Amino acid sequence: MYIYIKVKELIFDLLFLLIITNQILCRFFPFMNFLDELIFFFCLCSIFVYSRQINKNILLILFCLVVILLCGIISNAIIGYQENIIAIFKDIILFLKFPITFICVLIFHKNLVNHINVNHILYLIIIYVQILFFFAIISFFKDIGMSQNYDIRYGIIPYQFLYSHPTFLAYALVFISIVLVGIIPNKRDYFILQLQILVLLFLTMRNKAFAYIFMYYFIVYLSPRNKDISPIYIILASIIATIFSLEKIYLYSTFTWSPRAQMYSTALDIAKSFFPFGSGCGSFGSSISGEYYSFIYYLYGINEKIPQDSYETLSDSQLPYYLGQFGMFGVCLYLLVIILFFKYSKSIFLYSYNKYKSVYLMFAYIAIASLVESILTNESGSTIALSLIFCEKNLIKHNKLSYL
C-alpha cells in the first residue's frame, strides 16, 4: 500500500513538471505536443466511467456545451463553409478540452487529494523558480540565447529561458503562482518566492503578464481576509493593466493591417451576417480552421493576407473563435458555462481562503489571456484547469524552506 501511494505521488509530481516544462520538451520531442489531447481523452473516459458522480450543476454545464456544439454543427450543415468531417471533429475536441478537463477536476478533486504530496510540489516550484531566476539575471546583463532579441519592449529584452517564446514561460509562471497561492496557508509565507515569480513574469514583457501581476497584487494582498473578493479589485487591476497596454494598442493602430485586429473585425462581421449561431465548427479563428483552410477566409479576403501555410496566426485570440463560429448565442451560452465553473469552483473551496484566491487568479488569467491568445483551445486548454487539483491540500506547517 505504501509503495502504491508513493507511485501515485510520483505520477502527480511528474504531471506537474510536464505541465510547466511542456513547451520546452516540445522543442526536442514533438510528440509532447499531444499532452493536452492525452489529458483531455483521459478526463473524457473518466467522466464516462464514473458518470454516476455527475451532479445537477455539471449536468447543466454539459447541456450548455451540447447545445453550443449542436448549433455549430447545424451551421456547418446549412452554411457549409467547413465541410471536412475531420476538421469539424478536431475542432470539437479543441472546443471541449478546457470544459471536459475542468468537469473532471470538479468531480474527482476530493478523490485525488490523497495522491498529491504538496511538499513535493513546493520543492519542485522552489527548484524550478531558482533555476529560472538564475538564468534571468545572467540574461539581463549578457545574451546567452535565452531572450527574444528581436522584440525589445520598454528597453528590456523579453526573457524566455528555454521556451520557444516568452508567452510560454509566462503561462508556466502563472500556473506555478496559482498552485503556490493555493497551497500556502498565509500570503506572507514564501514571500521571496512569490516576488521572484512576479519579477520573472515582468521580465517576459508580455502585456498579459503585466495585467496578471496587478491582478495577483489586488487579489492576494489587498483583498480582505475571509471575505468574498470584491469586483472592484478586478476592475481596478483591469484599468491599470489597460494603461500598460496602451502602447501596444497604439502600435496596432499604426499598422495598415494586423492579423489579430482582422480576426476581431471579421468575427463581428460573421456574427452579424450569420446571427445568432455563427459560421459553424472548424470554420473560423482556430488552428484547425486554418489547417483545413475554411472557405470563410476566402469570402472575407483573409487568404490574401494570411495564406494557408501561415495559418497559425489565425488562432491568435480566443474571443473571435467563439464569436465567429458560434455567434452571439454561443458566446452567451459559453459565458454562462464559465460563470457556472467559477461559482462551482468557489463553492468547493469555501473552507480555505487561499484556495479561494487561486480560483480567482485562474479565472482572472483566463479573462486576460483570452483577449490576446487562444488559451482555452491551445495547449493550455487542458492544463490550466488542472492547477486547482494541485491546490487541494495545504502545506505542512513549519516547513524548513518557509523563509523563502
Tens-place pLDDT, residues 347-375 = 777 667 778 888 889 998 998 888 778 88
User: If you write DSSP's letter for every residue of 139-162 in order, what string do you get?
Assistant: HHHS--S-B-TT--BTTBPPB-TT
Question: How many angstroms separate the CA atoms of 190 and 179, rounded?
Answer: 13
Give tens-digit pLDDT for 170-206.
999 999 999 999 888 776 778 899 999 999 999 998 8
Average pLDDT of the chain is: 83
Question: How many angstroms separate the CA atoms of 72 and 66, rounded?
Answer: 10
Of 93-97, 174-178, 236-240, 278-282, which range is least confident?
236-240
pLDDT of residue 9: 81
HSE toward the beta carbon, residue 317, CA cutoff 13 A: 18
| Most confident of the ranges 229-238, 332-341, 371-380 | 332-341
> What is the enclosing helix (H) or strand (E) of 221?
none
153 forms beta bridges with 156
* pLDDT of 4 over the 60 cut: no
Contact 313, 372 (CB under 8 A): no
Higher pLDDT, 305 or 385: 385
pLDDT of residue 247: 56
pLDDT of residue 156: 85
> What is the enclosing helix (H) or strand (E) of 381?
helix 380-386
Give tens-digit pLDDT for 243-277.
655 555 555 545 556 677 788 888 888 888 888 88
Residue 216 class from Cβ within 10 Å (0-12 exposed, 13-18 middle, 19+ buried)? buried
pLDDT of residue 403: 43
| Most confident of the ranges 7-11, 45-49, 301-305 | 45-49
pLDDT of residue 228: 63
List phi, psi (to 5°) of 110: -75, -30
Residue with cell 480560483: 359
pLDDT of residue 92: 93
pLDDT of residue 257: 60
pLDDT of residue 251: 56
pLDDT of residue 237: 61
List phi, psi (to 5°) of 312: -60, -35
Q: List Cα–Cα distances, 324 to 264, 299, 319, in angstroms.
A: 9, 13, 8
* pLDDT of 20 over the 70 cut: yes
Nearest residue to 371 via CA among 240, 245, 282: 245
pLDDT of residue 198: 95
Mean pLDDT for 54-80 is 90
pLDDT of residue 135: 95
pLDDT of residue 398: 45
Kindly give, in sequence order, each residue whose CB lies less than 8 Å from that of residue 302, ignoring residues fewer than 6 positions away: 262, 266, 296, 314
* pLDDT of 400 over the 60 cut: no
pLDDT of residue 396: 56
